[in-house]
Amino acid sequence: MAGSDLPKPAASPKRNRNEFVRENIPASERVASAVLLCLILGIGVGLWIKGKHFDPNRYALRTDALKSTAGAVEGKAGTLRSAGETQPGEEGASAAPRPKAEAATAEAEPAEGAAAAPKPAIKGEPLEIALPGLKPMGATEFYSSDNLFEKIDGRAPAYQGFNVQQLRSRSFSVNALSGSFVDVYEFRFDSPVNAFGMFALERDPKGKPLDFAPDGYAGEMGWFFRQGAVYVQVIASDQKPETLALAVAIAQNRAKQLPADDAGLAGRRKLPAEGLIADSIAFVPDNAQGQAFLKNVYQANYNFAGGKLSFFVMVTGPGEAAAAWKSYLDFSGQFGGKATVLPDASGAKLFAAENFGTAKVIYQREGEIGGVVDVPNGELARQFVEKYLAGQIK
Amino acid sequence: MKWSFKDLLKLRSVRRVAQVFFFSLFLFFVVISDLRYLKGYPASLFLELDPLVAFATAITTHTVYIGLLLSLLLILPTLLFGRIFCNWICPYGILHHFIGWLLGKRRAEERERIEANRYKKLYSLKYVILIGMIVAAVCGSLQIGLLDPICLFHRSMTTAIMPLLNLFIPSSVYVRQYFHMGAWVIGFLLFFLVGMNVLIPRFFCRVLCPLGAFLGTLSSVALWRIDRNPDKCVDCDLCLKSCEGASDPHTQLRKSECFVCFNCIEDCPEDAISFKFMPPLKHEITAPMVPARRALLGSLVGVGFFAFGRASGKTDRDYNKKVIRPPGSVEEKDFLERCIKCDQCIRVCPTNVLQPSLLESGLEGIWTPILNMKLGYCELNCTLCGQVCPTGAIQRITIEEKTGVGPFAEEGPIRLGTAFYDHGRCLPWSMETPCVVCEEVCPVSPKAIYSREVTITKRDGTPITLRRPYVDPALCIGCGICEHECPVTDEAAIRVTAIGETRSRDRRLLMDGGVTSAVRDLEKRQR
Amino acid sequence: MSTNPPPDDTDGRTSRREFILRAGATGALLAGAAVAGRALWQPEHFVPGFQPEKGLQLPSYALALNKTLPSLAIAHGKEHDATVRAAIGALGGMSRFVQKGDIVMIKPNVAFDRPPALAATTHPEALRAVAKLVMEAGAAKVFIADNPINSPAGCFLKSGLRQVASDLNLELLYPETNSFSPLQLEGEVLKHWTFFHEPFKKATKVIGVAPCKDHNLCHASMTMKNWYGLLGGRRNQFHQHIHSIVSDFALMMKPTLVVLDGMNVLMKNGPTGGRLSDVKQMGTVVAGTDMVAVDSYGYTHLLERDLAELTYIHKAHDRGLGNKNWQDTFHKEVQA
């Protein structure tokens, strides 16, 4: 061991401090110390500066990058609103059509490519009607234009002709009577005009008008009307008073709940009610009377002065109306026909024509063009038109 | 004793300044490892400077990952000056130094202090530990993180000390309190190691520290060292009074033990000790003293760690479904070659989902990070864990790579796992109660959770229309927010497990996204 | 003056030689550390699980044969050896396919640990017949190998094929850890998978010998499905795209010859079977160079089913990997 036989130094102090402090500090040590102190300072400053500079993409996604996945994705619908499994105790609901993919995967491997992609499930709000005495029977069914035939069979092509978008239908059972129920069909079209067109096409001549829907009528067990772009059919299962009462209530409820929208139906409004043969109202989307310039035309038959005539009206811009009137005038003068411009009446231009044994009188007033066509008696036509323009036939 | 500015220009004084600076810097980095403060600070700087981390990962992965090259900044001075790191820079060493000064024998008799600082054979244990760890690394299992001081200190701060502060001063550290699984083990270990300074000064540094052992080995070729002038020396042994490294400066200096603290220079009453360039070899013990048999035993333990750990099967088919690794993690076998259990990822995670595992990922995976969705979930547009990981166990991925957008739209997102429903616990599936919070919070578009509406008759006879949720495994990225937000909080009705993770070929669930195909294909198939 | 240690000769100074050695050692370590660090440096991260993969590509083992001899032969008989010989003979004999010095890999279906009577695996007598023919044609070495679904040792033993291998001195290769390599393929679904490469490293000819079996998922397991046994890893994912993958096998493997053993056919409860009543004696062996044609004969005539169900056959045909209309190929039907 080191120095055990040498005398120990003077009694060691119990305190911690050194009695001696090193005085002679070599210059090299001073320099090294100074350098190291500066180095430490430099490191501190350097780190502080480093801390200020950073790439913001480290912490948040670069918004630009989202463009790469901007496209929508097919076949990954969120909520599939078709009726799924039935539970014990559930009232029987007919299964809505399953997306095609499920059938495909059960079989052999689907081929790669778009053909195998499943159809997106049809979406919509369930049809809820809160009325006393009613209970929904099963879930709301949804059909698109493509599979509408599954519900309404042969009527589907006509609906497709008017660009039907969706059918939402649900049945409601009558609490008071077991076995009685009311079916509600809401056909949504892409415009009120098309809804009206389909409604008008199926119109029952014997139907009674409804007071809660201007375009509507009631049959023996059914209520049919157009509200906005929806053609609603409420059909009772039988004619028991409670059932019918509930059916009316449902129809009124739907008329109130569905938003009113008469866009494009200005022409319809123009058709006067006086003398109107109710079930004769028709809507012709284009090529009315064989004329390319006659689009979105409303026409109806009237009883007037002991005879029957056909009156039509088209509402568009003033320029188009004027052009259409001129075109019709020119056309009527061709093929051996006779067209005569009549004096203006009530601010409208008029002409009378006779083609192929029938007469017509056509007017144009600002954005409105219409008239009486296909009558044997030109004089009757002129009277009707002039009276209408004067506001005497409402 | 008056103190003048001249006293600052002594190396021991500079050492004290350095200690304060580096310890404060370490604490600073721990505090700013938070999304709110991180900015551009190199929060993992101490780990990247750690030479043992760079050396051991170079052995296991044959690469030096990004910032680990900085370790040369410490290796080169060590090769020249010796173990300056241990007393000047190492924050854990500074902590022990301070605690030892605070609680140790400073009021005791000088003689007691001198005896406490003599070299003991016990101090060769750290070399045996280092050998064991290096052998395990050569086999392919990285275990240095268990005892490396920087890793240990970071881990203790993250899991034990910072939550402790936040418990007593709410919201001082986190917005909301963080919890860590098994924090008590790490906390008590810290207290134990620090407390041992009462018995043996610098207990951890002298007896256990593998980094100290590594640097000690490197110091063998140091060109500068503490030198005692035998002509001036009177054998009073006072140089041992404050010797930090127990390097026996009073006889032949043990180069591998000396911490270059310069206390002996200041303590010597005869001014016999100095820091010299290439003093004679006869006055030193150059290489560390490691008994060969102990070294062999250490190697065997190292081999066993790897071999017995792997043979227990947790990295192969019998993998634990709950070992969900952070996004950007490498495959499991590679993960165990890289993770140094520093828990930096756990510190910086904004949702507290990352947790130190105990034995869930096997013996080799002690204290490696896994996700626990009861405590948090993986935030979609966040890659903080990868940003701070010093070794690339979690690669430094960008948010675009993680979410599969931008240049990575073709590859698609990184998946951590897949969620599965437990129908018996799910409210709409079994309890007649509407819910679908899981669908609401699912962050991807299109959502990986979709629902089917179904109308059932309830127990009381009334009908109810419920939305019953399903998982689409082709879209699920395993982030776990569904599990986290599920109202059945004791054991969620939807739980994420590790199958389907993209980091591993073996653990994919679907082949090429399944029949429903990758989202990218669906996008391209415009009708 | 300290007593410890004794002063040395050099008075506390180092010699020049010592200086150079020590400085040199330190300098070398310094330089070494810096160089090693820089060399191993990985400055860029990668995205785990998304790195591009490379694999081996199998060569084609099919031969360009002259059109004067049939490419499909159907033989009917009472026992294996004679019927197999008749079928191969009708194709022009094994020497048309195997020449002296060839190293031939015969791939049987040994997927399950079943006795041969249950027809879930290649019958040992079929393998024996084919192997004998191969060796008679002058093959230098014959391998048999498969990666079964049940445990390999059990399968080869209980199916009787291990006995055949030891009787005829064939080399039996088990699917060991290091026998697999990544494979690359431009398949419909199969693009990159781990492959049992060991038997193919030296093979010059490949012959598939498959039983004719019902299969619960893809309807049948015959010569095309036989190659499933060459793949490793998590094959249980294949069932997600089973028909595309089976047709990918026709792209992956172009064998020299395939033999469909229809002596005992597993008619139902396949691919595992388990009951003698599932097996029917059809007494036929089909051999050919086009696995699609062979399989379509097998499905219609041996399993007696409607070919329209067998999606993978149609996929393979549409991809140009074979001809499902076996009647249109140059074929011959013989009696053993």
Domains of chain A listed by start with CATH number: 122-257 (no CATH), 266-389 (3.40.1000.20)
Is C42 in Cβ contact with B392 (below 8 Å)? yes
Instruction: Categorize the per-residue pLDDT at A3 as very low, low, confident or very high, splitting at 50, 70 and 90.
Output: very low
pLDDT at A79: 87
Of B407, B446, B452, the CB nearest to A80: B452
pLDDT category of residue A75 using cuts at 50, 70 and 90:
confident
- Model confidence pLDDT, tens digit, residues B479-520: 999 999 999 999 999 999 999 999 988 888 888 765 445 666
- Asked whether the bond before C5 is cis by omega within 30 degrees of 0, the reply is yes
Considering only B105-119, B184-198, B238-252, C1-15, which range has the smallest mean pLDDT? Answer: C1-15
3-class DSSP state for residue B481?
helix
pLDDT higher than 60, residue A179: yes
CATH topology of domain C72-335: Rossmann fold (3.40.50)
Report the pLDDT value the prediction gives residue A214, as an integer from 0 to 100: 77
CA distance C157 to chain A (A): 36
Q: What is the mean pLDDT of residues B20-34?
A: 97
Whether A112 has a pLDDT exceeding 60, the answer reads: no
Phi then psi for residue C95, to 5 deg, are -65, -15
Quickly state the pLDDT bin for B189 (edges 50, 70, 90): very high
Give the pLDDT of residue A17: 56
Contact A80, B451 (CB under 8 A): yes
Task: Identify the weakest region by mean pLDDT among A107-116, B41-50, B331-340, B478-487.
Answer: A107-116
A117 part of contact set with chain B, CB < 8 Å: yes
Evaluate whether B527 touches A114 at the Cβ level (below 8 Å). Answer: yes
Q: Is B236 on the interface with C (CB under 8 A)?
A: no
> What is residue C10's predicted lDDT score, i.e. its pLDDT?
56
Say how many C-beta atoms besides its own lie within 10 A of residue C284's C-beta: 23
Closest CB to A109 among C3, C4, C311: C311
Angle between helices B149-156 and B183-195 (to 10 degrees): 120
**For the residues B245-256, what does the mean pLDDT come to?**
92
Task: Indicate the helix (H) or strand (E) that contains C283.
Answer: strand C279-288
Contact B257, B206 (CB under 8 A): yes
- Strand ordering across the sheet containing A297-304: A282-284, A297-304, A307-315, A368-375, A358-365, A348-355, A338-345
Residue B524 above 70 pLDDT? no
pLDDT at C128 over 70: yes
pLDDT at residue A74, as a whole number: 77
pLDDT at B413 over 60: yes
Å between A290 CA and nearest CA of chain B: 36
Per-residue confidence (pLDDT) for residue B7, from 0 to 100? 75
Residue among A18, A24, A119 with most chain B CBs within 10 A, to mutate? A18
Which one of C2, C4, C243 has the shortest CB-CB distance to A109? C243
Q: What per-residue confidence (pLDDT) applies to B516? A: 47
Strands C141-145, C103-108: parallel, antiparallel or unpaired by DSSP?
A: parallel
pLDDT tens digits for range C31-77: 999 999 999 999 999 999 888 888 999 999 999 988 899 999 999 99
Would you call A56 an interface residue with chain B, using a CB distance cutoff of 8 Å?
no
d(CA B236, CA B463): 96
Nearest residue in chain A measured CA to CA from C189 = A112
> Among A164-173, B340-349, C137-146, which stretch is predicted with the lowest mean pLDDT?
A164-173
Question: Which residues partner with B259 through β-bridges?
Answer: none
**Residue A84: its pLDDT value, please?**
46
What is the rounded radius of gyration, in angstroms, for the C-alpha atoms of chain B? 28
Position A142 scores a pLDDT of 86
Give the pLDDT band of residue A339 (cuts 50, 70, 90).
confident
Confidence of residue B527 (pLDDT cuts 50, 70, 90): very low
Chains that touch B (3 or more CB pairs under 8 A): A, C
pLDDT band at B106 (very low <50, low <70, confident <90, very high): low
Is A102 touching B (CB cutoff 8 A)? no
Q: One-letter amino acid identity for C291?
A: M
Model confidence band, residue A90 (pLDDT cutoffs 50, 70, 90): very low
pLDDT digits (tens, 9 = 90+) for B129-164: 999 999 999 999 999 999 999 999 999 999 999 999
Summarised one tens digit per residue, pLDDT across range C241-276 is 899 999 999 999 999 999 999 999 999 998 998 899
Which pLDDT value is given to residue B107? 63
Could you state, in order of their start, the residue ranges of all structural domains in chain B? 5-285, 407-527
DSSP C231: B
Q: Is this structure's pTM higher than 0.80? A: no
DSSP assignment of B116-183 equals HTS--GGGGHHHHHHHHHHHHHHHT---GGGT-HHHHHHHHIIIIIHHHHHHHSTTSSSSS----TTH
Report angle CA C172, C133, C196 to the nearest 5 degrees: 30
Are A29 and B468 an interchain contact pair (Cβ–Cβ within 8 Å)? no
Q: Tens digit of pLDDT for each residue in C263-309?
A: 999 999 989 988 999 999 999 999 999 999 999 999 999 999 999 99
Complete DSSP assignment for A334-380: STT-EEEEEEEETTEEEEEEEETTEEEEEEEETTEEEEEEEES-HHH
**Residue C214: which pLDDT band, with cuts at 50, 70 and 90?**
very high
How far lies B510's CA from each of A122, B140, B316, B505, C234, in Å? 28, 30, 19, 11, 11
Contact C133, C170 (CB under 8 A): no
- Return d(Cα B194, Cα B182) in angstroms, integer: 19
How would you classify the pairing of strands B449-457 and A79-80? parallel
Q: Which of B8, B110, B525 sits opposite A114 (nearest CB)?
A: B525
| Chain B residue at shortest CA distance from A68 | B406
> How far is it, in rounded angstroms, from Cα B366 to Cα B341?
8
Residues in CB range of B135: below 8 A, 6 or more apart:
B298, B299, B302, B303
Most A CBs within 10 Å, among B235, B262, B467, to test the A interface? B235
| Spatial distance between the Cα atoms of B185 and B180, rounded to a whole number of angstroms | 11
3-state helix, strand, coil in chain A (%, to 5): 30, 25, 40
Write the Ramachandran bin of A272: left for phi over 0, alpha for psi from -120 to 50, otherwise beta: beta
Q: What are the beta bridge partners of residue A360?
A: A353
Put simply, the answer to whether C243 touches A108 (Cβ < 8 Å) is yes
Q: Which of A34, A50, A109 is closest, CB to CB, to B41?
A: A50
Confidence of residue B35 (pLDDT cuts 50, 70, 90): very high
User: Which amino acid is located at B322 in the chain?
Assistant: K
CB-based contact, B410 to chain C, within 8 Å:
no
Q: What is the mean pLDDT of residues A21-40?
A: 90
With the C-alpha atoms ordered B347, B353, B355, B361, is the resulting torsion angle positive or negative?
negative
pLDDT of residue B190: 96
Cβ neighbour number for residue A86 with a 10 Å cutoff: 15
Query: Which of B54, B76, B514 shows the shortest C-beta gap to C30?
Result: B76
Which one is predicted more confidently, C49 or A14? C49
Domain boundaries, chain C: 72-335
Question: Which chain A residues have a beta carbon less than 8 Å from that of B382?
Answer: 59
pLDDT of residue A209: 82
Confidence tier at C101 by pLDDT (50, 70, 90) = very high
